Amino acid sequence: MRKKTNDPNKPVGKMTRVGDFLPPPDKLVIPQETVKITLSLSKSSVNFFKHQARLQHIKYQKMIRQLVDRYAKQYS
């Protein structure tokens, strides 16, 4: 005779429907106006950002952009 096993990933008890609380896709990311520039950085700085971005699963350019944005916001 087979022994019944419970899957720990399945819900237990009465389930209730939860209303949709997420915003629509066009409201998730607010587009920002950007300007393309050419910027020379030290190789060690770029390697640092690339390594950190890899750990966080984001693009290193985005990390640098956010750093510059926060600096500008702090001093403006």
Domain residue extents for the chain: 42-76
Structure tokens at 3: 């022994």
Q: Measured between alpha carbons, how far is 71 from 76 in angstroms, rounded to an integer?
A: 9
Instruction: Read off the pLDDT of residues 1-57 as tens digits, 9 standing for 90 and up.
Output: 677 777 888 877 888 888 888 877 777 777 788 899 999 999 999 999 999 999 999
Q: What is the per-residue pLDDT for 1?
A: 61
Q: What is the per-residue pLDDT for 25?
A: 77
Helix axes 60-75, 43-56, angle to 10 degrees: 110
pTM: 0.60
Q: Measured between alpha carbons, how far is 6 from 47 in angstroms, rounded to an integer?
A: 48
What is the rounded average pLDDT of the residues 53-75?
A: 93
